[in-house]
Amino acid sequence: METMNNHNQICTYSIENLTVPQTDAEWSEGELEQKAQFLIARCYQILSDIKEKRDRMKLNS
């Protein structure tokens, strides 16, 4: 469970550290798409890490 909490903190940290514009006009469509792709890629990486650790734990048990 500690691993899950650690991953949640990392994901939350990454999201909170993106600057949030005051209005939608402050980010261009390209910037929004780039930030969305970054967050999606980061979440996939976190899920992949969790799956890998879970698979390793199953092998060790």
**Range from 13-17, 23-27, 44-48 carrying the lowest mean pLDDT:** 13-17
Q: Which two tokens stand for residue 11?
A: 């994901």
Q: Which amino acid is at 12?
A: T
Question: Hey, is 22 helix, strand or coil?
Answer: coil
Question: For position 2, what pLDDT does the model report?
Answer: 43
C-alpha to C-alpha distances, 23 to 1, 2, 30, 31, 34, nearest whole angstrom: 38, 37, 16, 14, 18
**Distance separating alpha carbons of residues 55 and 32, to the nearest angstrom:** 34
pLDDT digits (tens, 9 = 90+) for 31-44: 888 888 999 999 99
Question: For position 21, what pLDDT does the model report?
Answer: 56
Question: For position 47, what pLDDT does the model report?
Answer: 92
